[in-house]
């Protein structure tokens, strides 16, 4: 640890950009890969670095003479494919499941994308707000703000369950085009905190 900021410069391949040179705006770590998504002009795609090497983005290694399942991967290059909806958030649920919250749907990538991993739909009508609008409790239930403002509970392989009926009057005025949503689990209170920050007060992050 050097406690120093430095440019993220790949040693192999290059960081994903869209056709206008825009960089990814969503990030998480899953199965030892640095995962990226949120390209404005390639919104269905997702990208992962080589396992345990966030500086290696050489997707071509997977197609060499000897197949290498640890290599960098993307939705475009893998059999799992792109997400068929605009990705708005990624949730590294566990080593086997990566959840993609999208504009109006929810998907999970189950298994390694270079070793039989497949994409499954969890909802065809509920999406997730932009950024990182979710948290998890000690038993790994995910809670998230939906694309329409309701709060839901979610576990893999099941449909999301709406839990915000008692506070609908508080959520109704929320305009997700103007706020950043953050959530936090409070283990002492055994409940959720929902934080809403207007874009004007948080310029570094935007929906582009």
Average pLDDT over residues 22-43: 97
Instruction: Say how far apart CA 95 and CA 111 lie, in whole Å.
Output: 8
Range 34-46 average pLDDT: 97
Is residue 51 scored above 50 in pLDDT?
Answer: yes
Rounded to an integer, the average pLDDT of 75-94 is 94
Among 101-110, 134-143, 164-173, name the one with the lowest average pLDDT: 164-173
pLDDT at residue 75 is higher than 80: yes
Beta strands 179-186 and 131-132, pairing class: parallel
Predicted local distance difference test score (pLDDT) of residue 3: 81
- How confident is the model at residue 59, as a pLDDT? 86
In degrees to the nearest 10, what's the CA dihedral of 140, 142, 143, 147? Answer: 170
Whether the pLDDT of residue 132 is over 50: the answer is yes
The percentage of the chain sitting over the pLDDT mark of 70, rounded to a whole number, equals 92
Q: What is the mean pLDDT of residues 48-76?
A: 84
> Given this model, what pLDDT does residue 9 score?
94
Evaluated on CA atoms 143, 148, 150, 152, the torsion sign reads negative
Whole-angstrom Cα distance, residue 150 to residue 159?
A: 15
What is the mean pLDDT of the segment spanning 46-64?
Answer: 87
Quickly state the pLDDT bin for 206 (edges 50, 70, 90).
very low
Residues in Cβ contact with 10 at an 8 Å cutoff, skipping those fewer than 6 apart: 55, 56, 57
The mean pLDDT value for 76-100 works out to 95
């Amino acid at each position: 640890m050097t406690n120093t900021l430095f440019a993220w410069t790949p040693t192999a391949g290059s960081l994903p950009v869209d056709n206008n040179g825009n960089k990814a705006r969503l990030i998480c770590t899953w199965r030892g890969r640095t995962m990226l998504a949120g390209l404005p002009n390639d919104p269905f795609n997702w990208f992962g670095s080589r396992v345990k090497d966030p500086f290696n983005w050489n997707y071509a290694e997977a197609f060499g003479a000897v197949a290498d399942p640890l290599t960098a991967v993307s939705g475009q290059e893998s059999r799992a494919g792109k997400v068929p909806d605009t990705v708005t958030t990624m949730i590294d649920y566990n080593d086997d499941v990566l959840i993609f919250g999208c504009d109006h749907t929810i998907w999970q990538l189950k298994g390694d994308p270079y070793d039989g991993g497949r994409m499954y739909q969890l909802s065809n009508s509920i999406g997730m707000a932009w950024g990182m609008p979710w948290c998890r409790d000690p038993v790994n239930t995910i809670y998230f703000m939906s694309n329409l403002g309701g709060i839901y509970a979610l576990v893999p392989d099941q449909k999301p369950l709406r839990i915000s009926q008692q506070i609908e009057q508080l959520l109704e005025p929320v305009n997700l085009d103007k706020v950043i949503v953050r959530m936090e689990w409070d283990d002492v209170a055994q409940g959720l905190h929902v934080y809403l920050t207007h874009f004007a007060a948080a310029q570094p992050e935007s929906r582009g």
